[in-house]
Amino acid sequence: MRPLRHRRLTAVVTLATLLITAAPPAAASASAKPDRQPGYHRVGYFTQWGIYGRAFPVKKLDTSGAASRLTHVNYAFGNISEDGRCYVDGGPGEGDAWADYQRPVPAEESVDGVADAPGQALNGNFHQLAKLKAKHPQLKVLISLGGWSWSTYFSNAARTDASRKAFVASCIDLYLKGNLPGAPGAGAGVFDGVDLDWEWPNWDGEPGNVIRPEDRENFTKLLAEFRRQLDAYGRTTRSHHPLTAFLPANPAAMDAGFEGRKIFTYLDFGTVQGYDFHGGWDARANQQSALRVPAGSPDNPDFSVEVAVDGWIARGAPRHKLVLGIPYYGRGWTGITGGGNGLFQPATGPAPAAFEAGYEDYKNLKKLTGNGYAVHRDLRAGHAWLFDGTTLWTYDDPAVVLQKTLYIRRAGLGGAMIWSLDGDDDNATLTKTIGLGLTTW
């Protein structure tokens, strides 16, 4: 007899397969034979700050089993100066050079069990990523530039031919050539490529971001310059250096900031935002990462994974270059009234959480099951939530993640992206689920 755990897993796979194949696809998703290359990208964001409160050093990617299931690790984030240069700085709000490459990592946090020596040329997360790559040669590590907080001056960097050339050269020099402040060449070989996380060209992001109407065209030109300089550098290293970008779920932001088909001429792939469709900023509880818009949704139009993916396909994106973003966290509301299962009901505000109100890691949300919270599922729409009568958390558990991997396969997409790896449990349950769902047999 097969072990009970194996039988349960088989049942989940069978159920998810039936769910994804039974549901009618949207027009763009069903319109053509998938055009993709063998193998799936499995991209995980590693957060610089995760080593602190979340106690998530690079070593956990190895010990949890996550590293062996990933193809890319994106390091979040690299900053951009007002004059349009890549830089690292230990100043408040400007960066954390200590975490990046200065902190001597003790033996118990080191990938190979060997402690960093104070004052050696390379320490911190960068040194541990180099050790992780040595242990897992299939991994590519990319520096992710920008993010929500550090997209302020992307527009300045992309504005002119001269500014683009200088910006790209500074990023390659700092990260790929590894010319760190005070340690020339010390970081060489840590990073294989660049991920652009500009949130968003010609569209509102964090207050204070520089935004220009010409951002849309300049983003394409910036990609072209990155591709040109990365290829030139690759001729010296005899390697291909990947270029990727994080792309929005909002069709309006797609049109305002991105030249659809053109950008994929230069990108190895683009990761599509598959989350933050709703959150504590809304007055009612809702889904943050549903595969399809749920029946009864109070918003029309509304966001979903399928809306985002179909939006990019309709704008000329090649299917095999779209990588779906999957959240390792949930969005929550409290003070919910109206009864029922809590979904779409009025709330008084974001739910209390460990680090940020209305935002909680999967590893903490999974502990709520059976502790006053009931799990609810919308199998047709592909999402789950927890509700205790007052507080609701919308999140992706292994069943939802598996359903999304089957959607990726059926739609002919390029793989899955994770924000962020430190939200998983110590056994890398969600990452292993992605590995299972995207295994090529």
Omega before 385 cis (within 30°)? no
DSSP string, 358-371: TEEEHHHHGGGBTT
Strand 41-47 vs strand 349-350: parallel, antiparallel, or unpaired?
A: unpaired
Distance separating alpha carbons of residues 288 and 396, to the nearest angstrom: 9
199 an active-site residue? yes
Verify cis geometry, omega within 30 degrees of 0, for the bond prior to 344. Answer: no
- Tokens for 247, please give them: 């792309």
Q: How far apart are CA 15 and CA 402, in angstroms?
A: 10
CB distance 306 to 291 below 8 Å:
yes
Among candidate residues 414, 287, 424, the one with its CA nearest the CA of residue 362 = 424
327 within 8 A of 419, measured Cβ to Cβ: yes
Cβ partners under 8 Å of residue 410, min gap 6: 20, 21, 25, 29
- Which tokens hold the place of 185? 């060449």
262, two tokens? 């053109």
Tokens of 304: 């979903």
> Tokens 């020596």 — which residue?
117
Q: Give the C-alpha distances (Å, rounded to integers) separating 267 from 166, 263, 270, 429.
A: 20, 6, 7, 30
Q: Are 264 and 216 in contact (CB under 8 A)?
A: no
User: What gap in Å lies between CA 199 and CA 209, rounded to an integer?
Assistant: 9
- Cα(289)–Cα(326) distance, integer angstroms: 8
Q: How far apart (Å, rounded) are the C-alpha atoms in residues 206 and 151?
A: 8
- 3-state percent helix, strand, coil for the chain, nearest multiple of 5: 35, 20, 45
Contact in structure between 404 and 42 (CB atoms under 8 Å): no
Q: Which of 82, 94, 108, 199 is catalytic?
A: 199
Give the CA-trace dihedral at 239, 185, 48, 281, to 10 degrees.
Answer: -70
Contacts of 422 (CB under 8 A, 6+ apart): 46, 47, 50, 54, 56, 60, 328, 361
Contact between 180 and 88 under an 8 Å Cβ cutoff? The reply is yes
Question: Which active-site residues does the annotation give?
Answer: 199
